[in-house]
Chain A
C-alpha cells in the first residue's frame, strides 16, 4: 500500500465511522436498557454538576479542613484501573502468552475509559473549571517540573494518547482487513508498560510528597498503589470478558481468566503485606502520627464515620485473596466472580475514601471534621462513572465485532487467514 490519496483515506474513514455508528445503534433490549440506565445517571450527574458550578464547591461536603474528598478519591482509584492494562500487556508481549494477548485490546479500551473518568473527576473537583486552560502551555503555564500535579497532568494525558492511538490503530487496520503497522504499535505498547507504572507512581507521589500529611508521607505509598492497582483493574476486566463471552461470539479461554486471577492473587498478597508493614510501623512506634491510621480503623473520640468502611475493605481484600490463591476457587467461575467483586469493592474503599480522608483527618492543626460525601457529590460521581461505562460500552460494541471479523470494510476482502487482529500479533 504505497501512497494513499487524501480522498481515499477520508472515504475509508467515513466508511469506518458510518459502520461504527450503525453497530452502536444496533442492539437488543438489554443493550438499550443499559444505555438508558447510563443516560439517566449522566443526566442526573450533569444537573448536580451544573448546580455545583452555580453554587460553588460548597455543595459538596468538602471544607477547609478536608479539602479533597470523594472526587479525588475516585480519581486515585481510577488511575489504578487505568494502569492495570499493563498487567495484561506484560505477559502478552514480554512472555508472548497467547491466551492473554487476545484480550490486551480490551485492557487498553478500559484504560482509555478510566483515564477519561480520571480527567473528569479532576475537572469537577477544581473550583474554576473555566480556567482549566491555565494548565496548558503555551496559553497557560504548567509548573513543571516543580509541581507533581503538573507531572500527573502530563503523564495521564500522554498515557491516554498512547492507549488511544494503539487501540484505534489496531481496530481501524483490522476493520480494513489489514495487519497493524508493527513499527508503530510495538514501540508504543512497550512504552505503555513503563507509562502505566509511571502514571500510578506519579499519582502516589502527588500525596507522598506532602510532608504536611504524615499519613501520605510514607515511602510505602507508591508500591502500595501499584499493588492495589494490579488487583482492581483486572477485577473489572475479568467480569467484562465473561460478559462478552456470554453475550457475543467472543471467545476467551478459561486458562487466560484463571491466569489473570492468579496474578491478582500475588498482587493482593503484596497489597496486604504492604498494608501490614505500614500498620506495624504506625502502631508499634505509636507516635502522634498514628492518629490518622487510628481514625480510619478505630475512629477518634466520637468520630467513627469511616470505621465500617475500613474493616469492610480489609475483609473484602482478605476474601479476594483467599479465593484467588486457591486454584479450585479461581477456576470456579462463581467464586472467581465473587473474588472479583470483593477486590473491586475492597480496593475502591481503601484507595478512594481510605486514602484521601484519613490523610486529611485530623487536619494539620488537629481538628477533626468528619467528611462524608453529599448527595450532590454522589450524583456527580455516578454521572462520571456512567460516562466512562458508556464510552467503554460503545468502544466494545465496535471493537468486539472487528476482532471477531464480523465487522469489516466492504471494499477490501478479508485475508484468508487470521481474520482476527489479535491472533496476528507477534513479538518482534
Chain B
C-alpha cells in the first residue's frame, strides 16, 4: 500500500503541559445563534505589504465583528509577464525565468520546464540526469516545505521552529550554491541535461544533510504537533471536503489533506518514480491541521526518496550526446571543426523543437505544476504556459475563510502554502 493516513492528534501533549481543545471544533460558526447587534459590517484591507499574507497578496475582507463575511484576494502585484517574455526567447533562455516563479523551490521549476520541452522535442535524457533531477526536485520539496513550516509556525505564534527550519534551509541554500553558483536563482537545467555535473563532494554533503535533518524534524514535531495552541488554531479551521477540493482544483498536499491520494508522482509517474518506495500521506478532515501533518510526513517521504536515489545514482554522462541539443565541451569547440559549428549553431540560432504542444505535469512542493509548451517548429515557443499550483489553490481562500475569525483567515492563508511569484508570474 503506497498510501498512508496521517495521525490526527486529538487532545494534548503531556510534555507540553498545555490543554488542547478536546475535540475539533465544528465548522460553521454561523450555526451559533448570536444576538442581532445591528452592527455594520466593516471593510478591512490587508496587504499588499503585510508579513502575514506571505507575499505581495492583498486581501479585502468584509467583517462582522471579528467574523469574516467575505474576503476578496487581489493578485497581480508581482506580475512580470514571464509567459510573454518567454515568447521572445529561445528554449534554453527561458530556464532563468522559471526559477524566479517559485523562488522557494526553484529547482522543481527548472526541471519541470525542460522536461516539457524535452518531451515535445522527443529527447530522452541520460539515466544519470534523471536521477540527478529526482534528487534536486526532492531536495527542493523539503526546501519549500521547511519554509512553509517555519513561517506558518510564526503565524500561530511559535518562533522557535522558524529558527530550526531556516537553519536547515540555509544548508540547502549552500548546496544550491555549491552546485549552481546561486542560492535562489539556480537555473540549473538545460534542454537535454544539466548545466554541469554534480561537483565533487556534493553527494557526501547531501548524505550528511539526510543523516542530520530528521533530528530537526523530530524536534519541530515535538514542539508543534501536540501543541495546544497549534491544535486550537488549526483543527476544524478551513476544512474542505474531498469532492469540493477536487472541484476547486486543489492539488498537492492541500488536496491530499482532504483524503484524495492524488499525487502526480504516483498517478502519472515521470523519471521512474514508480520504482521508488515511498508513501503518499493523506488526511481525513481536510482542515489546516491535516495540511500541516501531510506536509510534515511528505518531508519524511522525500528524505526516503533521496536516500534511494543516492544509492542508485549511475555514472556516465549527464547531457545527451546529440550535438544538435547539447553544447560541446569547451575543448572540443576550440579544437574540433564540427563541434565548433554545432556550438555556433546552437548559440546563435538555438535549439529547434518539433511542432506540437505538450502539457507536462510535475508534483511540485505546492501542488501540481503543469508546463504547457506550444511550438511551431521554431527556436522559440509560440506559447509557454505555466499552470501554477498556488494560483488555483489561493482562489479557494474565500470559500475556506467565510464564517471564520479574522485570525483564522491568516492561518488558512498560511496553510495553503502559496508563493506569489508563481501566482502572478
Are A and B associated in one complex?
no
B residues apposed to A, CB below 8 Å = none
A residues apposed to B, CB below 8 Å = none
